[in-house]
């Protein structure tokens, strides 16, 4: 790999970081603005060398190979039978909430949301991990990676192409599930709104519920983007099966990252070693729990777009960091 | 040469990773703060646990690991508890453990909290004859409901459930009024105010009962229950109450005896009479009246508790009742928390 190509890859990452930083700047609080102004200045300074030839470089050289790899990955992924099986099964479960909700008298609406949203996220997780971990492993196994990398495609472009193609597949699958869930919810939910005949009180308010469910699905898409990145990165280091186990492990530990923060709290008597160790784990782990806003749905409270965008940007930052790690590992790997 | 370049590049790459992770921290902290403000943070159950039993700890850890899938796991386990009910194992301990797990997996789901509290205070309560064990079930049920409230402080349901448990099962009416009073701070059904009035009536504290019934009538002038109760209190009990407040205890007893002549088994009139004797310091007579009330109605646990408390004052053998044991234990805890030392002698104002 030439140093020119490596430099091009580095710029690609820097562009993503700067974009995230600049968008973030628009939403940051006053307290945080100084940090992000500094971030923006550093980013712009790094961009100056590229500024003159940037459009030609970006659209003419950088993106086309990524786009081609992504498109091929997307088409190939849809031919995988296990993926189609998971999708069909997910749709059946989501549709079954139509009937299953009645099994829980008084909590029909909750059941409808639990099953619909839970199934969309759960099967999205399965597809993201099992597809993400197979994308590169299969290319190595079939030795097609040699042909690909012999062409003018850098490893970073190959990796990003695989990530984008994989994510597009997961996104499309989840979109089908989300639309199905939303249709079921829109039809059934109004029947369950006033279900407390004894008290006469409204069991659930639904002023913001439809919007909140759409927001929750949006966050689920962000979550799976992080998961696909994690799975692809893990597969650059481990065999696909171990990468899948590793991805599940990180996902479930990431769900409880807040525990590590609590355990490292000196006010709760954490020792100095525990503070450093658990504090580091908390800082390093992706916080997957932030993509869950089910509480807001059931309490029917507004989730402001600003807050939601911050969540999305944090997800984007996770993707950037994880893919950068993936690139560094993949660059060193013998294929 | 190339190897050296690669190494330098790798180092730069990892430095960039570290830099990005450092930059991520303020974003993460800011998002965490937003989630805290909006109440979107994932539950941090350890801080809210009242009972640190193994089931609770398991539920907490399982809930934390499952993250976004905890609610669906809770729903599935709830189906299992229904299976237990259907197969006649509803009152078993394994059913209780399952319920407890469900409450911690999905702490904002009110139904499991309500059913768990009810299961402990009602179903498991009658499974044993031992008053101490019954008191323990009351304690566990009440703690379960209090835990549930700590998760759902902005819904009336569990305040109401706890208030009702104190009202109906423990017969600790001031405590019932406290929790029912909390329930009406939120959107709630109309009957809760009447329930509070009933509580004060049973204690008895007639002026407070009248205040609440008056409120019910102002809110809904066609409230027949409140109208009827107001008339009864004013006609039968208010004179006696006023005489008692003026320390004219004999006149008060005469008044209440007139009410008892009309309805000899009226538990309200008996409670009132017992209360007047207590106010007059005539504990022997008070004991007789409360004893009569206790024997008159099988479910008059308040009268039984009074019998136990007054027996303790008189230095007699104390018959043990679950609600009395529960209340005494709670008072002992309060005294301990307040740093009081010495024997737990019940003060008169406790009654």
Q: What's B342's DSSP letter?
A: S
Tell me the C-alpha distance between A236 and A197, whole Å. Answer: 57
Taking CA atoms, A138 is separated from A135, A141, A169, A236, in Å, by 6, 5, 16, 11
In sequence order, what are the residues at sequence separation of 6 or more whose Cβ sits closer than 8 angstroms to the Cβ of residue B237?
B204, B206, B256, B259, B268, B269, B272
Residue A3 has pLDDT above 60, yes or no: no
- How many CB pairs (< 8 A) connect A and B? 150
The answer for A 13-42 residues in CB contact with B (under 8 A) is: 13, 17, 21, 24, 28-29, 32, 35, 39
- Closest Cα in chain A, distance from residue B293 (Å): 32
Closest by CA position to B163, among listed B189, B126, B136: B189
Q: Which of A10, A118, A199 lies nearest to residue B72, judging by beta carbons? A: A118
Residue A42 is predicted with a pLDDT of 67
Query: B34 touching A, CB under 8 A?
Result: yes
CB contact under 8 A, A290 and B109: no
CB contact under 8 A, B27 and A13: no
Tell me the C-alpha distance between B173 and B157, whole Å. Answer: 18
CB contact under 8 A, A104 and B30: no
Q: Which of B41, B64, B72 lies nearest to residue A256, judging by beta carbons? A: B64
B304 touches B273 (CB < 8 A): no
Tell me the C-alpha distance between A276 and A264, whole Å. Answer: 7
E strands, B20-70, in order: none
Identify the residue among B2, B7, B40 best suited for mutation to test binding to A, counting A beta carbons within 10 A and taking the highest.
B40
Residue B155 is predicted with a pLDDT of 86
Residue A200 has pLDDT above 50, yes or no: no
Q: Which residues of A touch B111 (CB under 8 A)?
A: 106-107
Three-state DSSP class for B159? Answer: helix
Query: A259 touching B, CB under 8 A?
Result: yes
Tell me the C-alpha distance between B146 and A279, whole Å. Answer: 32
Residue A221 is predicted with a pLDDT of 95
In sequence order, what are the residues at sequence separation of 6 or more whose Cβ sits closer than 8 angstroms to the Cβ of residue B32?
A287, A290, B41
Two tokens at B178?
A: 């406290």
Q: Which of B5, B67, B71 lies nearest to residue A256, judging by beta carbons? A: B67
Three-state DSSP class for A148? Answer: helix
For A260-267, which contacts have Cβ atoms below 8 Å and span 24 or more sequence positions?
A260/A285, A262/B44, A262/B46
- Closest Cα in chain A, distance from residue B65 (Å): 5
Residue A10 has pLDDT above 70, yes or no: no
A229 touches A322 (CB < 8 A): yes
SS (H, E, C) A120-143: HHHHHHHHHHHHHHHHHHHHHHCC
The answer for B 98-137 residues in CB contact with A (under 8 A) is: 108-109, 111
Q: Angle at CA A266, nearest 5°, toward A260 and A272?
A: 85
Closest by CA position to B287, among listed B317, B251, B322: B317
Q: Which residues of B touch A203 (CB under 8 A)?
A: none
Tell me the C-alpha distance between A76 and A134, whole Å. Answer: 12
Two tokens at B214?
A: 């008056």
Q: What's B340's DSSP letter?
A: -
Residue B350 is predicted with a pLDDT of 38
Helices A108-141 and A81-100, packing angle to 10 deg: 180
Tell me the C-alpha distance between A41 and A47, whole Å. Answer: 10
Query: Residue B162, by phi and psi: left (phi above 0), alpha (psi -120 to 50) or beta?
Result: alpha
Residue B344 is predicted with a pLDDT of 46
Residue A21 has pLDDT above 80, yes or no: no
The stretch A88-113 carries a mean pLDDT of 85
Q: Which residues of A touch B78 (CB under 8 A)?
A: 104
Query: B14 touching A, CB under 8 A?
Result: yes
CB contact under 8 A, A110 and B75: yes
CB contact under 8 A, A328 and B17: yes
Q: Which of B108, B189, B190 lies nearest to residue A295, judging by beta carbons? A: B108
- Closest Cα in chain A, distance from residue B47 (Å): 10
- Name the pLDDT band for A197 (thresholds 50, 70, 90): very low
Render pLDDT for A23-37 as a digit per residue (tens, 0 to 9).
555 555 555 666 666
ipTM of the complex in this document: 0.78
| Positions of chain B with pLDDT lower than 70, given as ranges | 1-7, 41-48, 50-52, 64-65, 67-68, 339-351
Residue A36 is predicted with a pLDDT of 64
CB contact under 8 A, A111 and B24: no
Residue A310 is predicted with a pLDDT of 85
A103 touches A161 (CB < 8 A): no
CB contact under 8 A, B20 and A324: yes
The answer for B 155-194 residues in CB contact with A (under 8 A) is: 156, 187-190
Tell me the C-alpha distance between A169 and A143, whole Å. Answer: 23
Q: Which residues of A touch B102 (CB under 8 A)?
A: none
Query: B338 touching A, CB under 8 A?
Result: no
DSSP codes of every residue in A181-217 = HHHHHHHHGGGGSS--TTT-S-SS--SSHHHHHHHHH
Query: B20 touching A, CB under 8 A?
Result: yes
CB contact under 8 A, A256 and B10: no
Three-state DSSP class for B281? Answer: coil
Q: In chain A, what percentage of residues exceed pLDDT 90?
A: 32
Render pLDDT for A205-256 as a digit per residue (tens, 0 to 9).
677 888 888 889 999 999 999 999 999 999 999 999 999 999 999 998 888 8
Q: Which of B28, B39, B187 lies nearest to residue A201, judging by beta carbons? A: B187
Residue B343 is predicted with a pLDDT of 46
More confident site: A105 or B209: B209
Query: B62 touching A, CB under 8 A?
Result: no
B350 touches B309 (CB < 8 A): yes
DSSP codes of every residue in B167-217 = IIII--HHHHHHHHHHHTTSS--THHHHHHHHHHHHTT-HHHHHHHHHHHH
CB contact under 8 A, A252 and B10: no
Query: B69 touching A, CB under 8 A?
Result: yes
E strands, chain B, in order: none
Phi first, then psi: give them for residue A96, nearest 5 degrees.
-65, -20
Tell me the C-alpha distance between B142 and B167, whole Å. Answer: 12
């Amino acid at each position: 790999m030439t140093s020119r190509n490596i430099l091009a890859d580095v710029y690609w990452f820097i562009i993503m970081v700067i974009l995230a930083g600049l968008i973030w700047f628009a939403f940051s609080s006053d307290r945080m603005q100084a940090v992000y102004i500094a971030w923006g200045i550093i980013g712009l300074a790094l961009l100056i060398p590229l500024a003159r030839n940037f459009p030609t470089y970006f659209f003419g050289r950088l993106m086309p190979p990524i786009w081609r790899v992504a498109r091929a990955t997307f088409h190939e992924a849809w031919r995988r039978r296990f993926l189609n099986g998971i999708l069909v099964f997910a749709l059946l479960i989501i549709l079954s909430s139509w009937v299953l909700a009645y099994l829980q008298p008084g909590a029909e609406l909750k059941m409808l949301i639990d099953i619909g949203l839970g199934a969309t996220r759960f099967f999205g997780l399965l597809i993201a991990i099992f597809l993400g971990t197979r994308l590169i492993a299969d290319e190595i196994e079939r030795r097609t990676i040699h042909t690909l990398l012999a062409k003018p495609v850098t490893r970073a472009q190959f990796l990003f192409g695989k990530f984008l193609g994989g994510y597009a597949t997961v996104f499309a699958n989840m979109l089908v599930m989300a639309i199905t869930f939303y249709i079921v919810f829109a039809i059934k939910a109004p029947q369950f709104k006033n279900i407390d005949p004894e008290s006469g009180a409204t069991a659930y308010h639904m002023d913001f519920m439809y919007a909140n469910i759409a927001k929750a699905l949006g966050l689920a898409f962000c979550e799976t983007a992080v998961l696909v990145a994690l799975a692809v990165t893990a597969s650059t280091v481990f065999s696909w099966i171990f990468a899948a186990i590793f991805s599940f492990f990180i996902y479930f530990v990431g769900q409880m990252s807040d525990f590590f923060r609590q355990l490292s709290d000196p006010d709760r008597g954490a020792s100095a070693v525990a503070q450093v160790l658990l504090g580091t784990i908390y800082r390093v782990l992706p916080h997957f729990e932030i993509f869950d806003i089910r509480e807001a749905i059931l309490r029917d409270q507004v989730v402001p777009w600003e807050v939601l965008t911050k969540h999305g940007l944090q997800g984007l930052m996770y993707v950037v960091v994880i893919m950068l790690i993936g690139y560094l590992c993949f660059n060193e790997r013998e294929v | 040469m190339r190897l050296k370049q690669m190494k330098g590049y790798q180092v730069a790459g990892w430095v960039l990773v570290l830099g990005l992770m450092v930059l991520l921290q303020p974003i993460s902290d800011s998002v965490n703060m937003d989630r805290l403000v909006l109440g979107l943070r994932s539950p941090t159950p350890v801080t809210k646990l009242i009972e640190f039993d193994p089931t609770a700890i398991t539920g907490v850890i399982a809930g934390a690991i499952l993250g976004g899938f905890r609610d669906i796991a809770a729903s599935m386990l709830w189906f299992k508890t229904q299976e237990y009910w259907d197969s006649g194992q509803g009152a078993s301990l394994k059913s209780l453990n399952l319920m407890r797990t469900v409450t911690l997996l999905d702490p904002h789901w009110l139904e499991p909290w309500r059913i768990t509290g009810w299961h402990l205070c009602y179903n498991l309560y009658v499974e044993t004859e031992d008053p101490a064990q019954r008191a323990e079930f009351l304690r566990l049920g009440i703690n379960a409901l209090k835990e549930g409230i700590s998760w759902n402080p902005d819904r009336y349901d569990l305040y109401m459930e706890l208030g009702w448990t104190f009202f109906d099962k423990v017969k600790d009416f001031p405590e019932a009024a406290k929790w029912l009073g909390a329930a009406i701070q939120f959107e709630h059904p109309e009957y809760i105010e009447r329930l509070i009035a009933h509580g004060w009536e049973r204690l008895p504290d007639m002026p407070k009962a009248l205040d609440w019934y008056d409120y019910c009538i102002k809110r809904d002038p066609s409230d027949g229950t409140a109208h009827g109760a107001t008339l009864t209190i004013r006609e039968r009990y208010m004179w006696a109450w006023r005489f008692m407040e003026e320390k004219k205890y004999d006149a008060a007893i005469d008044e209440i005896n007139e009410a008892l002549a009309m309805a000899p088994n009226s538990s309200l009139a008996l409670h009132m009479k017992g209360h007047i004797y207590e106010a007059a310091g005539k504990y022997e007579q008070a004991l007789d009246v409360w004893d009569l009330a206790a024997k008159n109605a099988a479910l008059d646990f308040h009268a039984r508790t009074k019998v136990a408390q007054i027996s303790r004052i008189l230095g007699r053998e104390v018959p043990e009742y679950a609600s009395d044991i529960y209340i005494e234990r709670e008072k002992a805890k309060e005294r301990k928390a307040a740093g009081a030392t010495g024997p737990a002698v019940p003060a008169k104002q406790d009654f």
